[in-house]
Amino acid sequence: MVSSTEATPPVETQSSGFRWIQLAMGIVCMAMIANLQYGWTLFVDPIDAKFHWGRTAIQLAFTIFVVTETWLVPVEAWFVDKYGPRVVIMFGGVMISLAWVLNSYADSLTLLYAGAVIGGIGAGAVYGTCVGNALKWFPDRRGLAAGATAAGFGAGAALTVVPIASMIASSGYQSAFLTFGIGQGLIVFVLAIFLRPPTKAAPARKKQLNLPQSKIDYTPPQVLRAPIFWIMYLVFVMVASGGLMTAAQIAPIAKDFGIANEPVSLAGFQMAALTFAISLDRIFDGFGRPLFGWISDTIGREHTMFIAFGTAAVMLLTLANYGHNPIVFVLATAVYFGVFGEIYSLFPATSGDTFGSKYAATNNGMLYTAKGTASLLVPLASLVSAKYGWQAVFVIGVGLNATAALLALFVIKPLRRAFILGKEAAVTEPAAQDARTA
């Protein structure tokens, strides 16, 4: 017997344009928290130069941030499902400001780690709320909506990488933490006032036969008992670990390769290789999230995963062999992040398709904790690179992404369809028999 309730009949009470406004505000909120993860790499070496704590010790703050950001999302998402997005995002705005203000004054690893905890709580509150809200507003376009929302997080840092780098160079990293921390938090707080959930579910239309969507709203405990959830979780961890490592370590990697300050000219632009790479990475990352979300709405989630994960493996292999070339470094990392960021659109969309809309924020929040699990490998990357070089780290990433691509197509795809069709049959068949005997 399936204890889940049938999905609420789809009725829209708000205009179609209103949900796009909600989506846009969520994207801006996501852009405001992007630097907490993707801008972090700019601060690692300046902090080390000032206090000489060592990269590994400093990068532990990044791991603490990601773990806190992800593993508390289910709790924060529960508040969203129960009370709505406004109060949770307001809280997140305050916390992300407080985190970077604390970082600006941190003169010990203890304070740096405390800032990471506070920032993680705030970023998770904003991230989980915005993605969950997008899934509720757009059950008919989950891939695109989740991708566009995640794009704010992926590309948001692209707008501020150069200003932050310039402020660090001219005024010190403390000023950058303080100025951008206050500004980002204030914008999130103001936008939170206008965010709200749909009063009724929007229509969930099946566009393709290869895009099955559950008609049942599964509760979080039911989701945790489903084997398909844990297989998706495993694949998420495998892919996320390489991307988080590269995002956190891209500046140290470029410095160790001896190309960080090498000039690179592409498409009429000339910058130092590291700055160019980070800027282009954020643009490609942001563009790739809605693009792959839209593609997955068309050809299916798992086929899109196979394409993206396979491409990521090829790019990491390229970096392992030719990453010492500045142009190759810039282009390969850009393409890699262009296909890496799609996990933040594909997995939320897949979760919504598989487990329904009613508890979408909480269920996706539980799956999102895989990012926190993957972040535990980031400090290990520093240890592996110190002993075997960055090439060994990239080769490990190649193996994880290639395996994830095969699992998506040959394991997740058949099991997920069997789960959806089997559970729906268990609910509808007794109802059909009752109708025939009535």
* Residues with Cβ within 8 Å of residue 143, at least 6 apart in sequence: 292, 293, 294, 295, 296, 297, 301, 345, 346, 349
Reported as a single tens digit per residue, the pLDDT across 204-258 is 454 444 567 788 889 999 999 999 999 999 999 999 988 888 777 888 889 889 9
Token pair for residue 52?
Answer: 């000489």
Mean pLDDT of all residues in the chain? 85
Alpha helices in 258-325 (DSSP H): 273-299, 301-322
Position 352 in a domain: yes
Q: What DSSP designation does 412 have?
A: I
Token pair for residue 264?
Answer: 């690179």
Per the DSSP assignment, residues forming a β-bridge with 270 are: 265
Q: How does DSSP assign 359-382, residue by residue?
A: THHHHHHHHHHHHHHHHTTHHHHH
Find the domain containing 85 and state its range.
Answer: 15-437
Token pair for residue 353?
Answer: 């398709």
CATH number at residue 118: 1.20.1250.20
pLDDT at site 207: 46
Position 6 in a domain: no
Position 1 in a domain: no
Position 343 in a domain: yes
pLDDT at site 423: 63
> Cα–Cα distances in Å, from 348 out to 147, 323, 412?
9, 32, 14
Position 9 in a domain: no
Token pair for residue 333?
Answer: 């990392």
Residue located via tokens 């049938």? 6
Cα 17 to Cα 196: distance, rounded to the nearest angstrom: 14
Q: Between 59 and 332, name the one with better pLDDT.
A: 332
Task: Report, in angstroms and rounded to the nearest whole number, the Rg of the chain calculated over CA atoms.
Answer: 21
Token pair for residue 289?
Answer: 């999230």
Reported as a single tens digit per residue, the pLDDT across 67-108 is 898 888 888 888 887 788 899 999 999 999 999 999 999 999
Reported as a single tens digit per residue, the pLDDT across 177-191 is 999 999 999 999 999
Cα 78 to Cα 48: distance, rounded to the nearest angstrom: 38
Percent of the chain with pLDDT over 70: 90
Cα 83 to Cα 89: distance, rounded to the nearest angstrom: 12
Cα 272 to Cα 262: distance, rounded to the nearest angstrom: 5
Per the DSSP assignment, residues forming a β-bridge with 107 are: none
Position 108 in a domain: yes
Position 94 in a domain: yes
Q: How does DSSP assign 118-176, residue by residue?
A: HHHHHHHHHHHHHHHHHHHH-TTSHHHHHHHHHHHHHHGGGGTHHHHHHHHHHH-HHHH
216 and 7 Cβ atoms separated by less than 8 Å: yes
Reported as a single tens digit per residue, the pLDDT across 308-324 is 999 999 999 999 999 99
Per the DSSP assignment, residues forming a β-bridge with 271 are: 264
Position 7 in a domain: no
Structural domains counted in the chain: 1
Instruction: Label residue 434 by pLDDT band (50, 70, 90).
Output: very low
b/e code 348-381 from CB counts within 10 Å (16+ = b)? bbbbbbbbbbbbbbbbbbbbbbbbbbbbebbbeb
Secondary structure (H, E, C), 219-250:
CHHHHHCCHHHHHHHHHHHHHHHHHHHHHHHH
Torsion angle (degrees, nearest 10) of CA 163, 166, 172, 174: 10
Reported as a single tens digit per residue, the pLDDT across 321-338 is 999 999 999 999 999 999
